Amino acid sequence: MVKCFRLLLRGLATNWVGTAGVVLTTSAFLLFLFMELLRLLQVVTNAYVGLISYLFLPAFFILGLLLIPIGWRIYRRARGRSTQELLAERFTPLLTERTRLYGSNLFGLIVLLTLINLLFLGAGGARVLHFMDEPVFCGTACHGVMHPEWATYQQSPHAHVKCVDCHVGEGLDGLVDAKLNGLWQMISVTFDLYERPIPTPVHNLRPARETCERCHWPEKFYGDRLDVQTRYGLDRSSRPHYTTLALKVGSGTGEQGGTIHWHVAPENEVRYLPAVEDRTEMRSVAIQQGDGSYRQYRNRKYLGWAGPNSAAAAGEAAGSPEPGGELSGWATEERVLDCIDCHNRATHIYEDPATAVDRRLEAGEIDRAIPFIKREGLGSLLGSYAGTAAAMTGIARGLYGTYAREYRAETLGLQESLDRAVVSLQEVYQRNIHPRMEVGWNPYPDHSGHEHEGGCFRCHNRDMVDLAGNPIAYDCTLCHSILAFESPEPFQFLLPVAEKDPERSMHQYLQTEFLRTRP
Amino acid sequence: MRIRVLLLSSAFVLLAGSPCLAQVAPAAGSVADSMAGKCMTCHKKESPGLYRQWYMSEHAKHNVTCIGCHGAPRGDADAYLHEGAYIATLVTPRDCGRCHQKETREAEHSYHATAGEILESADAYLAHAAGGHPVAIAGCESCHGAKIQIDAQAENRLARVSWPNSGIGRLNPDGSKGACNACHTRHSFSKAQARRPESCGKCHLGPDHPQKEVYEESKHGNAYYTHIDDMNLAADRWVVGIDYYEAPTCATCHMSATSKQPLTHDVGQRISWTLRPKISHLKEDWEVKRKSMQQVCAACHHEEFIAGHYFQMDGVVQVYNEKFARPAGEIMGMIEQKGLRENPSAFGNKIDWIYWELWHHEGRRARHGAAMMGPDYTWWHGIYDVAQNFYFEFLPEARRFEDPEINAHIDRLLSEDPMHQWIRTPTAETKAAIRSGELQENYRGIFKPE
């Protein structure tokens, strides 16, 4: 049998094309078997190897199989003989003789090998699709482009959720969409057709509610969620102060009535028309409630004079308050609000430098005992560096230099803390700054909340008015009670009001608001 | 960072554990009290700079909060509904006067309060005609004060042509005049700021009234900038010679308390001359006013020194008056009377601009220089410019009309007035007259104020 196989291979190696085909197919197959063996024996555990096993080797295998008949055709044309004659010439009688019921050995061998190929390709194909579903494929196949998203994903609350679980839709449609989309991405990467940084929002993301609500369903949101934000000062001891919010996260299904997740409660539907492509400003918002009532708010900036050249100004002149006919595409497509309109950075979370340092301080990675560490750490992150490698050296040299020069005596016993702080700050930089993709400090605003421009205030602002001209609600305590506000204590406003405190009015107001609005 | 708990229970545990639960219960405060806290809740985040200024201010210490000043009766022309309360963006002296009664009364009676009534002035005409409306708004009215106009369509009901404006003579919708924040910048409303010369220098500077520059040149300004840290500027009580003694600022001489007189927000009360018009004149009750000022000087200077200063200042003011301002005014009168101007409009002819700069710019510079001991402003930026203008721009331009009567008037002035005769006298003769004191004799009587 082995002899037959060897003879077959020799016969197929008609010319250099055929030979290449034989070599590629055989070696790809053997290598694949070898790699799989190593994987099964757990000798190789690096997921990156999957790229070779499941992408490159099957690709070479198929390429080889294609080259063999091509080589044969070239050979036949060159020799100008019939297939029968060539078969007799290329293969020993051992193979070509009709010895069996079903034909020659050659025929039998080809049938057998084809079966093996089909089996291999089937199993391999399944392995390839499976591998393509792995985050490591998404994160590393287009290494440079995806690196920022990959880096942030790995440190996110969704690090255990596969990319495809959110990014690829359900069923065959989703699969085909994703593969076609992937093809385009491959072309973009190959021919450098992509923007840096990658623009958001991703318009063809799979429907968020179908995705997110598999784990986070609206009925699950009730009561309050306590959010204690610790910020550290730029003083010697990096003194902490607190902003504590009791977030009214209810969806309106419970006894308490809904607030934040009221927007996605089953009986409500919120729709909006963006005013700008990145959806950071809205032209109008409409609300359909369970009882059938319907309310619309429109952005008065787009009703009145918004600038000498604005479409709205032209519309106003024509007496039409509605978006004019000159708008198209995203600007005319009303969108039903879903999870990612607010939680647009649930996973790929980029940090502001100050927040990043605060988090490391709170986690203890950076030791507050080091004098002025918030100020110095933040300063080191904000330096202008030529690249990531330069930043790593710069951060380390900058901090060690400063502390050796300015605070030598005070940091004598803190060398270990200082080492840890340097490493932590370097990690912050690596997570957030990606020069190759032109990703600087937080290029993507997070819309859950209103820490950045936008967020809740995209709709909840004084310019968004109903037909009677009354603005939509945008009270500070609409969505959260405030229990501390850059205060020295995490629950400052639950403490008694201090007589001499300039903020005593606010203290009293917020305390009352919190106690009054809870049943 | 984020703690996920059932807040309700935790909050009550916290409160129950607090011994002061009774005090925590909402007090039966006024509507304004409860609203005050609401304003701060948003504005602490949305207007952090403004909030911080207020937080560090005396107002914050005394529980004067947003609504206390901005709260407005519903019927006010500029009142609007904002987050459940009627407020007005504009805070007028009348609002401040609810607490600061004496200060408001004085300010409203001061010359400052009339600064907004400029529409009929030559300055306003010039800015509107030669400049344009936007120039008058952003220029003149920013210091003088605009007449606040209501725009029912505007969110805060204030028309953009007149808001923002913190001019010292602002004409407010409630009928009051002025803006306290012209000097006590919001939202810190600091005493220290108003006591600094920079505060006045916001308006009192430039080619037509360089009080700030004169002060900087003077020994007073010099001493102030040298000893600025010892000036005790933020003190509650600020009596010259007692709480500070290194130097006076604008506020010291024109407003602040001394050991013998109280603080006043009526800035004209210690000024004896008016140095503003074409020809300076002594103000009503000028002796009383001068005495008040001299009493400030006396905190640091001997009375002979003070008398000497006034003697010198009176001399310069009257030289300007008699030697240049009055003759120039007479010639302008003749041109006007004879209808010699080519264009009928004020400032439509070159001579109008020349004469304007003579008194409005150069003449004022000289007088202010002398009043506040700025030698360079008295002479090189002052009378030197006046003289050059008078002899070599104004008179030649007046002669261009070729009117025999005017020409004869000018000739007579130059040949008969002993202050002008030098121009037709050989240099050596004049020098000899200077050396002998003969030339100075011509000015002997000019030091005594009339």
pLDDT value at position B2? 42
Beta-carbon contacts of A278 under 8 Å, excluding residues fewer than 6 positions away, are A199, A200, A201
Together in a domain, A162 and A81 = no
CA B220, CA B246: separation in Å to the nearest integer? Answer: 9
**Residue A199 belongs to a domain:** no
Report the domain count for chain A: 4
Q: What is the predicted pLDDT for the residue at B31?
A: 53
Residues A8 and A123 in one domain: yes
With respect to residue A207, please indicate whether it lies within any of the assigned structural domains: no
pLDDT tens, residue by residue, B387-423: 999 999 999 999 999 999 999 999 999 999 999 999 9
Mean pLDDT of B253-270: 95
- Residues A294, A322, single domain; the answer is yes
What is the pLDDT confidence band of residue B32, given thresholds at 50, 70 and 90? low
Average pLDDT in the B31-47 region? Answer: 83
Write the residue in A223, A497, A514 that is nearest to B6 by C-beta. A223
If asked whether residues A17 and A102 sit together in one domain, one would say yes
Best mutation target among A259, A260, A505 (most B Cβ atoms within 10 Å) is A505
Which among B2, B38, B42 has CB closest to A228? B2
Last residue of a domain, one of A100, A116, A132: A132
pLDDT band at B107 (very low <50, low <70, confident <90, very high): very high
Q: Does A354 touch chain B (CB under 8 A)?
A: no
Q: Which residues, at least 6 apart from A305, have a Cβ–Cβ distance to it below 8 Å?
A: A312, A313, A316
CB contact under 8 A, B38 and A497: no
User: Residue A311: what pLDDT?
Assistant: 44
Residues A381 and A431 placed together within one structural domain of the fold: yes
Tell me if chain B has a CB within 8 Å of the CB of A305.
Answer: no
pLDDT of residue A324: 46
The reply to whether A46 and A126 lie within a common domain is: yes
Q: pLDDT at position A98, please?
A: 66
Q: Give the closest-approach CA distance of A337 to chain B in angstroms.
A: 26
Chain B residues inside the 8 Å CB shell of A478? none
Euclidean distance between the first and final Cα of chain B, in Å?
Answer: 78
CB of A230 within 8 Å of a chain B CB? The answer is: yes
Q: Which residues of B touch A508 (CB under 8 A)?
A: 26-27, 29, 33-34, 37
pLDDT at B29 over 50: no
Q: Look at the pTM and tell me if it is higher than 0.90.
A: no
Residues of A in contact with B60 (CB under 8 A): 502
- A469 and A325 in one domain? yes
Q: Which residue of A has its CA nearest to B67?
A: A505
Say if the Cβ atoms of B37 and A505 lie within 8 Å.
Answer: yes
- Which of the residues A509, A510, A516, A517 would you substitute to probe the B interface, choosing the one with the greatest number of B C-beta atoms within 10 Å? A509
A31 within 8 A of A49, measured Cβ to Cβ: no
Q: Which of A437, A472, A494 is the last residue of a domain?
A: A437
Domain membership of residue A208 (yes or no) is no
C-alpha closest to that of A433 among A140, A148, A139, A138: A148
- Report how far residue A164's alpha carbon sits from residue A134's, in angstroms, rounded to the nearest whole number: 8
> Which residues have CB under 8 Å from A309's CB, separation 6+?
none
Residue A220 with chain B: CB contacts under 8 Å: none
Tell me whether residues B1 and A229 touch, CB distance under 8 A: yes
* A210 within a domain of the structure (yes/no): no
Answer yes or no: do A342 and A357 share one domain. Answer: no
Q: Which residues of B touch A516 (CB under 8 A)?
A: 26
What percentage of chain B exceeds 90 in pLDDT? 88
Nearest CA in chain B to A497: B24
C-alpha R_g of chain B: 28
My answer on whether A227 and A285 are in the same domain is: yes
Which of B47, B83, B80 lies closest to A460 in space, CA to CA? B83
Average pLDDT, chain B: 91
What's the pLDDT score for residue B139? 95
- Is the residue at A475 inside a domain? yes
Are residues A267 and A335 located together in one domain of the fold?
A: yes
Number of CB pairs, chain A paired with chain B, less than 8 A apart = 100
Residues of B with Cβ-Cβ distance to A245 under 8 angstroms: none
Nearest chain A CA: its distance from B26 CA (Å):
6
Q: Which residues of A touch B24 (CB under 8 A)?
A: 494, 496-497, 511
Instruction: Scan residues 77-116 of A and list those with Cβ closer than 8 Å to B.
Output: none
* Per-residue model confidence as pLDDT tens for chain A (519 residues): 677 778 778 888 878 888 898 899 889 888 988 888 888 888 877 666 777 787 788 888 889 888 888 988 888 888 888 877 887 777 777 677 766 556 677 777 788 888 888 888 888 778 778 888 888 888 877 777 888 999 999 999 999 999 888 888 777 888 888 888 888 888 888 888 888 888 888 776 777 888 888 899 887 888 889 999 999 999 999 999 999 999 999 887 555 556 899 888 888 899 999 998 888 899 999 998 777 778 899 998 888 544 334 444 444 444 344 444 456 677 788 899 999 999 999 999 999 999 999 999 999 999 999 999 999 999 999 999 999 999 999 999 999 999 999 999 999 999 999 999 999 999 999 999 999 899 999 888 889 998 877 899 999 998 999 988 888 988 889 899 999 999 999 999 999 999 899 999 999 999 999 998 776
Q: Do B37 and A500 touch (CB under 8 A)?
A: no
* Domain-embedded: residue A205: no
Looking at A132, A158, A178, the residue that finishes a domain is: A132
A64 domain residue, yes or no: yes
Q: Do A13 and A116 reside in the same domain of the chain?
A: yes
Q: What is the torsion angle, in degrees rounded to the nearest 10, for the CA atoms of residue A316, residue A320, residue A326 and residue A330?
A: 100
Residues A341 and A462 placed together within one structural domain of the fold: yes
Mean pLDDT confidence for B164-172: 97
In chain A, residues with a C-beta closer than 8 Å to the C-beta of B155 are 462
**A386 belongs to a structural domain:** yes
Across the interface, whether the CB atoms of A503 and B40 are under 8 A apart is answered yes
Q: What is the domain range of residue A306?
A: 219-346+447-516
